[in-house]
Amino acid sequence: MTETTAPLSDAAIRRQMLVEFWFYFRQNRGAVIGLIVFSLLVAIAVLAPVIAPHDPTSQYRDAFLVPPVWQEGGSAEFLLGTDAVGRDMLSRLIFGAQYSLFIGIVVVAIALIGGVIIGLVAGFFQGWVDNVIMRVMDVILAFPSLLLALVLVAVLGPGLTNAMIAIAIVYQPHFARLTRAAVMGEMKREYVTAARVAGAGNLRLMFRTILPNCLGPLIVQATLSFSSAVLDSAALGFLGMGAQPPSPEWGTMLAEAREFILRAWWVVTFPGLTILISVLAINLMGDGLRDALDPKLKRS
């Protein structure tokens, strides 16, 4: 008696992979918490105009440095207090979520696309192409990332757009290296030779045949870069080189709050706390993704 299994359709295989991924991801409690917090953050950013009690830039002249509501002198109108020019902290923090998520997405997108293309080319063609590309990446990696980003911003001019470009340039070699290593591993596999023999061109081989099989580590790296981008852009904002006042970017808010640290704890504490919580949530997710996507760690 012979049993034949019906061949699975592409969609079914994909669904199967997702189910398996979720199975491993769910086992990591921290990752699930991270995912929930991150989803909340996305919701806050999207709904910011609806849920923020005040305009993030409007100044209430009669309410400078009002403490949070639970402290003496606080007011229910400003739940987390106001800053030195009478702006509502809570509203600024809510709108700040838009900045951080936007920065993370843009930086990761630029660094990922650039890095993947460069890494693919290096890993696919190897030889001198690979050598030249990788030496250039080594040069970028020789600089401490924040320093290089700072100098790039000095060249391009301070501001949010330039800060994002600078951070993306600094992160891009990590993606290039990772892609190259993965591509080199895949190139030796038989399915690549088979596709080549079947007449697939270089571009098709690179992007359709090889790239989808290298995605695991890239997704993990993208998550980690997302959290670093939020941190580094906040650091640039803090140093006066990122988003410029009065934008409610969390790092920029901290820079403005610095002179009040011993007088008004809330203007310093809350922006930093939101940065920490966001970065922590993304890193928790990253840990879970790594466990779920890294085949070496899976105990089958």
Partner 1 sequence: MIRFILAKLLYLVPTFLGITIIAFGFVRILPGDPVLLMAGERGVSPERHAELSAQLGYDKSLVLQYFDFLGRLMHGDLGNSLVTKKPVLTEFLALFPATVELGLFAIILATVIGVPVGVLAAIKRGSWFDQISMTTALVGFSMPIFWWGLLLIILFSGILGWTPVSGRISLMFFFPNVTGFMLIDSLLSGQKGAFGSAVSHLILPSVVLATIPLAVIARQTRSAMLEVMGEDYVRTARAKGMPPFRVIGIHALRNAMIPVVTTIGLQIGVLMAGAILTETIFSWPGIGKWMIDSISRRDYPVVQSGLLLIAGLVMLVNLAVDLTYGLINPRIRAT
CA-CA distance, 9 to 113, in Å (whole number)?
A: 29
Are 35 and 291 in contact by the 8 Å Cβ rule? The answer is: no
Number of H helices, E strands in the chain: 11, 0
CB of 60 vs partner 1, minimal distance in Å: 25
Are 103 and 234 in contact by the 8 Å Cβ rule? The answer is: no
Site string for partner 1, 5-34 (x = CB under 8 A): -------------------------x----
CB of 81 vs partner 1, minimal distance in Å: 15
What amino acid occupies position 230?
V
Comparison of 175 and 211: residue with beta carbon closer to partner 1: 175
Total Cβ atoms within 10 A of residue 103 = 27
The radius of gyration of the chain's CA atoms, rounded to the nearest angstrom, is 23
Sign, Cα dihedral of 124, 129, 133, 134: positive
Among 150, 164, 166, 218, contact with partner 1 (rule: CB under 8 A): 150
CA-CA distance, 166 to 250, in Å (whole number)?
A: 18
Site string for partner 1, 237-276 (x = CB under 8 A): -xxxx---------x--x---x--xx--x--xx-xx--xx
Among 18, 40, 151, 194, contact with partner 1 (rule: CB under 8 A): 151
CB of 18 vs partner 1, minimal distance in Å: 26
Return residues touching partner 1 (CB under 8 A): 30, 135-136, 138-139, 142-148, 150-151, 154-155, 157, 227, 231, 234-235, 238-241, 251, 254, 258, 261-262, 265, 268-269, 271-272, 275-276, 279-280, 283-284, 287
